[in-house]
């Protein structure tokens, strides 16, 4: 016996990638370099490690699901510094065990599967948790493809009026995974108007918000709401994480913020679900959110490596510096992203993620097909070496077409 909705889940991209690469023997002349998984590799800040070690006595008590007041105050203080917004720490923020589990859990909180045609809209390509959350909440999915002609912005206009009318939850990701695109204010205005008309909740995944390459920091969902006169954040929940910002994915720490009515229901769900954050992680999270110096240093490392790698790869591939995030989203010669990735691994021992594994066919196309995602998460020298190998391979690959 099992929940039949589990049978609707698709294999995770990395599971599919392992199957596609099975039987391939990488060239032993090169050491293995993986640009496949978006897992930060920069060292965790010492101040976070020290805060963890200093808080071990906190293990002797049960933590509150709502988090300690000091943590919620730290979250609101960061929001105030980053976005110039004032939120109520008692009702408008909630700590979560990383944005991944919260993105999943929110769907279980807001979806009513008894309503006919319950639908969740996702960008495409997308983070597969969105789809899994929708399916396990008893909803169906609809996809808005990214448009290369518009800096890979999601084509929300592809979603017809009948689908919007059935929509209960919309996932947006800005800066985007895998494209790095940042949603402008006009796009937020359109989505807020649709939310007001149809009553759906907007889940704004902003886990890449602190890694960016322009002078101006990416616009956040809560920030956009206030700019558009929506200071109550109605039907809007933003998700933020320390994983990328502070290089601590293993700590599983983030928060949600926004509509107080939704957060109240979400807290109720999480109380039953046993989602309280460990006291020692709370203490370390306070230290992380209260410090910006390590974030600036981290961002500079990414800027340095992206400047070098993009210069190398743009000479042979259709690729450009993204708005934000730590991925490069490149078109491959000939359009066979899987074949390109397989041959690259076999000949040069560099792993990349085929873009078609990150998307679903929608509106007649798979918008990830013909592209690869490269996660520039390792140290600069390793990323540069990988780029040089990819450039050499690509030049030879073009000759074989």
Position 394 scores a pLDDT of 98
Nearest to 223 by CA among 241, 209, 212, 243: 209
Are 65 and 270 within 8 A, CB to CB? Answer: yes
Position 11 scores a pLDDT of 87
Position 400 scores a pLDDT of 87
Position 326 scores a pLDDT of 96
| First CA to last CA distance, the chain | 50
Q: Which helix (H) or strand (E) holds 141?
A: strand 140-147
CA geometry: angle at 54 spanning 283 and 88, to 5°? 15
Mean pLDDT of each 10-residue bin along the chain, 401 residues long: 90 86 94 94 96 91 95 98 98 97 97 97 96 97 95 95 98 96 97 98 98 96 98 98 97 98 98 95 98 98 97 97 96 97 97 96 97 96 97 94 80
Position 298 scores a pLDDT of 97
Tokens of 64: 């509150």
Cis ω before 125 (30° cut-off from 0): yes
Position 384 scores a pLDDT of 97
The single-letter DSSP state of residue 291 is -
Helix ranges, 137-219 (H): 161-166, 185-198
């Amino acid at each position: 016996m099992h929940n039949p909705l589990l049978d609707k889940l698709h294999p995770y991209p990395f599971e599919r990638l392992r199957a596609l690469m099975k039987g391939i023997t990488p060239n032993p002349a090169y050491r293995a370099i993986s640009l496949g998984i978006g897992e930060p590799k920069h060292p965790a800040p010492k101040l976070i490690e020290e805060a963890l070690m200093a808080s071990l006595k906190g293990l002797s008590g049960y933590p509150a699901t709502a988090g300690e007041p000091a943590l919620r105050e730290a979250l609101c203080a960061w929001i105030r510094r980053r976005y110039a917004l004032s939120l109520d720490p008692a009702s408008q923020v909630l700590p979560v065990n990383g944005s991944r589990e919260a993105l999943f859990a929110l769907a279980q909180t807001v979806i009513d599967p008894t309503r006919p045609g319950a639908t969740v809209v996702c960008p495409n390509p997308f983070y597969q948790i969105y789809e899994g959350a929708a399916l396990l909440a008893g909803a169906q999915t609809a996809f808005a493809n990214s448009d290369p002609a518009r800096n890979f912005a999601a084509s929300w206009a592809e979603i017809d009026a009948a689908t919007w009318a059935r929509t209960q939850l919309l996932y947006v990701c800005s800066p985007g995974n895998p494209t790095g695109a940042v949603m402008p204010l006009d796009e937020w205005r359109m989505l807020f108007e649709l939310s007001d008309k149809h009553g759906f909740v907007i889940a704004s995944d902003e886990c890449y918000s602190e890694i960016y390459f322009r002078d101006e920091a990416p616009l956040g969902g809560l920030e956009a709401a206030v700019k558009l006169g929506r200071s109550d954040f109605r039907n809007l929940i933003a998700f933020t994480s320390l994983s990328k910002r502070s290089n601590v994915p293993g700590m599983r720490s983030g928060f949600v913020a926004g509509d107080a009515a939704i957060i109240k229901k979400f807290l109720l769900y999480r109380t039953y679900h046993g989602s309280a954050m460990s006291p020692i992680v709370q203490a370390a999270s306070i230290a992380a959110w209260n410090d910006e110096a390590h974030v600036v240093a981290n961002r500079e490392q990414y800027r340095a490596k992206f400047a070098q790698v993009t210069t190398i790869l743009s000479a042979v591939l259709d690729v450009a510096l993204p708005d934000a995030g730590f991925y490069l989203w490149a078109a491959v010669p000939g359009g066979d992203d899987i074949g390109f990735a397989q041959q690259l691994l076999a000949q040069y021992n560099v792993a990349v993620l085929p873009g078609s594994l990150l998307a679903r066919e929608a509106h007649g196309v798979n918008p990830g097909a013909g592209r690869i995602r490269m996660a520039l998460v390792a140290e600069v020298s390793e990323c540069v070496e990988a780029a040089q190998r990819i450039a050499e391979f690509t030049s030879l690959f073009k000759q074989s077409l």
